[in-house]
Amino acid sequence: MRPGRQPAGRLRPRWVLAGVLAVLVALVGGVALGPVSLPPGSVAAELLNLVPGVHLDSGLNEREIAIVTEIRLPRVVLGLLVGAMLALAGGCFQGVFRNPLADPSLLGVAAGAGLAVTVLIAYRGAAQGGALGGVPLTTPVVAFAGAIAAVLLAYLLSAGSGRERSPTTLILAGVAVSAFLTAAQTYVMQRNIDAIREVYSWLLGHLSTAGWSDVLVVLPYAGVTAAVILLLRRELDVLSVGDEEAASLGLHPQRSRYVLLAAASLATAAAVSVSGLIGFVGIIVPHTVRLLAGASYRAILPLSMLFGGAFLTVADLVARTAASPAEIPIGVVTAFFGAPFFVLVLRTSGRAAL
């Protein structure tokens, strides 16, 4: 993209249709496949029965219907929400920092949320604190507090040299903050051996749920953050031309950047609170969408939500079926695909991240 020129592109219907189809395929596949495989057509019919006014004969018995609606569907819906939030946050960070390798781990966001939840698990217990089910109601709030604290710490650290803060300076500060918070997290784990198994399992990422209660915990955060970021997606296109030109177009760059960072941090924190640390979704999905659908964030962000949800749902399906009856941590699956992708992006990107 030439300097001073905004990225061309708009949200094309064919890509929206492709994203919706990807979500539907992931939804049906995630519910149909597992230790007890169910016919995809019957599963699709049963899912349609959840729509008011629709009554179809799916051919499933009561036990199979319970597997669909009470066990697998909540997990798949949670995967769609978490994947959408992580991909949306990754795309937002990439726009704010004008860096195609940015993801929620920048500024220590994921590390800050992870440390906060680790402390909560170690000193309070993951099933306490007024939980609706498996996830305490306070967990996303605590994770968000840790994420924002990490962002503030990185912001203050980046100002230590007395120079004007730049995206590169903030990224370097974020790397340092992330390393420090990870060390603190390790210390907390070593001081609480009884909780180390639970914390370690959470760190590797998972989507096991206690039912619809976990979905209800994270749903408000997903709705608020998605609304804020999508409403401001045009401003990311303006920020991509540089702060000076953005200001000349009537935008307040720093204010927009802070609002977007807060929303992306909240999305990351909410996802981390229910699924643990799942890496690379925020890099793989937005960057792939950028390559396929164009560089405008008017298209990147909404499409990242759709394809991010589908991607994580498929990754979770692989995690729970590849080594059945055992279950592979979903963070291992995303890292298996994400690490080579990261190297590919690093080698082919027009400019390095740092």
* CATH code of the domain covering residue 343: 1.10.3470.10
Position 222 in a domain? yes
Provide the pLDDT for residue 346. 66
In angstroms, rounded to a whole number, what is the distance separating the alpha carbons of residues 262 and 166? 17
How far is C-alpha 274 from the chain's CA centre? Answer: 11
Count of residues in the chain: 354
Cβ–Cβ under 8 Å, residues 281 and 336: no
**Model pLDDT, residue 9:** 60
Q: Is residue 135 part of a domain?
A: yes
Residue 42 resides in a domain? yes
Q: Is 156 exposed, middle or buried (0-12, 13-18, 19+ CB in 10 A)?
A: exposed
CA–CA–CA angle 255, 12, 45 (5° rounding) = 110
The answer to whether residue 44 sits within a structural domain is yes
Q: Tell me the C-alpha distance between 217 and 124, whole Å.
A: 18
Per-residue pLDDT at 120:
85
- Please report, for residues 110, 133, 137, 223, 300, the alpha-carbon distance to residue 216 in angstroms, rounded to integers and kept in the order given: 22, 10, 10, 11, 27
pLDDT of residue 54: 87
Residue 149: what residue type? A
Three-state helix/strand/coil letters over 50-71:
CCCCCCCCCCCCHHHHHHHHHH
Q: Please state, as a whole number, how many other Cβ atoms lie within 10 Å of the Cβ of residue 180.
A: 16
Residues of the chain with pLDDT under 50: 1-7, 126-133, 350-354
Residue-range definition of the domain harbouring residue 237 = 26-348
> Cβ(349)–Cβ(101) under 8 Å?
yes
pLDDT for position 128? 44
Q: What is the pLDDT of residue 354?
A: 42
**Residue 293 falls inside a structural domain:** yes
Contacts of 173 (CB under 8 A, 6+ apart): 107, 154, 155, 157, 158
- Asked whether residue 154 is domain-assigned, the answer is yes
pLDDT of residue 353: 40
Distance of CA 314 to the CA centre of its chain: 14
Q: Based on C-alpha coordinates, what's the Rg of the chain? A: 20
Give Cα separations from 200 to 162, 274, 331 (angstroms). Answer: 39, 14, 12
Does residue 79 belong to any structural domain of this protein? yes
Please tell me the predicted confidence (pLDDT) of residue 68: 93
Query: What SS3 state is found at 41?
Result: helix
For residue 125, the model assigns a pLDDT of 53
Give the per-residue pLDDT at 3: 43
Q: Determine the pLDDT at residue 352.
A: 42
Q: How many domains does the chain have?
A: 1
